[in-house]
Amino acid sequence: MSKEHHVAEYGSARPRKRWGRRLLITFLVLLVLLAVALVVGDRVAASYAERTIADRVAEQVANQKATAERPDVTVEGTPFLTQVVAGDYQEIKILLKNFSAPDQTGNMIKMPTLDIRAQDVDAPLNTLRTGTGDIVAGTVTGTGTIEYPDLATLIDQDGLTLGEKDGKLVGSAPIQAVGQTFQVTGTADLAVADGVVQVRFSDVTAAGLPDIPLVNNLVDNYVKQLAYNLDVPALPLNLKVQKVEPRPEGLVVTTGAENVPLNSGGL
C-alpha cells in the first residue's frame, strides 16, 4: 500500500468519528429535554389536581359556616401521572390555616392550623375520566391545636388561665373566701365521648386557704363551674375527634375517619 493511499484512508475516518460524537451528544440532549418535559408535565398535572382539591375543601368549609385561609394542598409521591394511571394515590396533604368554626351553642372554636392527611386514596382512572363511581380515601387523619387562652375564653370564668404541666392540663384562677383572695390551682381530666371533649377539674388546692367546711364547699362549687364540654364543630372530610392531648402550645385535638368518599360529600 502506498503512503498516499494510507494517508487518504486515515484522513477520511476522522470526520465520521466526529459525526458519530455529535449524533451521540444530540441524542443525549433530546433525552434530557424529554425528561424535563415529562417532569414539567407531571408537575402541571399535580398542580391542577391540588387546585381542584383545594377548591372542593374550601367549598365544604364555607358550607359548614367555618372560615379558613385557602387550603394548601400537596399530592405526595412521584411521579404523579403514574399514580393517576394506577388509580392509587400515596397521600394527599391538606393544610388549613386560621380555621374557625361554630359549635352547637354558637361559640367559635379556633385552630391556627388544621393539618389533614388523606392516605390510600383509590381513584380509578375511569372514574376521573367519566365522573361516575367513587373516589375513596382509606384513612383520613387531622390534627389541630386549640390555644389555651381560647379554651379559657370558652370556659368563661374570670381570671382563669390554662397551661400544660407534666403532660396534664392545669388551671389557675382567683377565688374569694373569708374576705380574702386566694389563687387556686387544679388539674383537669380529659375524656372524649361522642365527639365531645369533657374537661373536668380535680385536686384543686390553694396556699393558705382555710380548711373549713364553708370554704371547702365554696371551692367545690367553683370547681363544678369549671367543668366544660368542648363540642368540636363539624370538620372537613367527616373527621371526628379521637383524642386530645395537652402540650405546651395548646390542647392538641386528633381526629380521624375511614373510607371517606372524596367525590360525594367528603370533599
Lowest mean pLDDT among 14-23, 35-44, 52-61, 109-118: 35-44
Residue in the structure block whose three cell numbers are 367528603 = 266
Hey, what amino acid is at 253? V
- Residue by residue, what is the 3-state secondary structure of 169-220? EEEEEEEEECCEEEEEEEEEEEEEECCEEEEEEEEEECCCCCCCHHHHHHHH
Asked if 252 contacts 143 with a C-beta cutoff of 8 angstroms, the reply is: yes
Largest CA distance in the chain: 128
Lowest mean pLDDT among 23-37, 187-201, 229-243: 23-37
Percent of the chain with pLDDT over 90: 24
Segment 81-104, tens digit of pLDDT: 666 666 667 788 899 999 999 888
Tally: H helices and E strands in the chain: 5, 11
- pLDDT for 151 equals 92
265 pLDDT above the threshold of 80: no
6 pLDDT above the threshold of 60: no
- pLDDT for 65 equals 86
Burial class of residue 10, CB neighbours in 10 A (0-12, 13-18, 19+):
exposed
- Residue by residue, what is the 3-state secondary structure of 26-62? HHHHHHHHHHHHHHHHHHHHHHHHHHHHHHHHHHHHH
Grid coordinates belonging to 153: 375564653
Grid coordinates belonging to 10: 486515515
Give the Cα separation of 202 and 188 in Å (integer).
6
| Confidence band, pLDDT 50/70/90 cuts, at residue 136 | confident
**Beta strand pairing status for 161-165 and 168-177?**
antiparallel
Give the Cα separation of 123 and 76 in Å (integer).
15
Q: What is the mean pLDDT of the chain?
A: 77
Residue in the structure block whose three cell numbers are 367543668 = 227
Lowest mean pLDDT among 54-58, 66-70, 185-189, 257-261: 54-58
Burial class of residue 199, CB neighbours in 10 A (0-12, 13-18, 19+):
buried
246 pLDDT above the threshold of 90: yes
Grid coordinates belonging to 219: 371551692
The dihedrals phi and psi of 147, each to the nearest 5 degrees, come to -70, 150
- pLDDT for 267 equals 46
Grid coordinates belonging to 205: 388546692
Nearest of 167, 110, 134, 126 to residue 267 by alpha carbon: 134
23 pLDDT above the threshold of 80: no
The dihedrals phi and psi of 195, each to the nearest 5 degrees, come to 80, 5
- Predicted TM-score (pTM) above 0.85: no
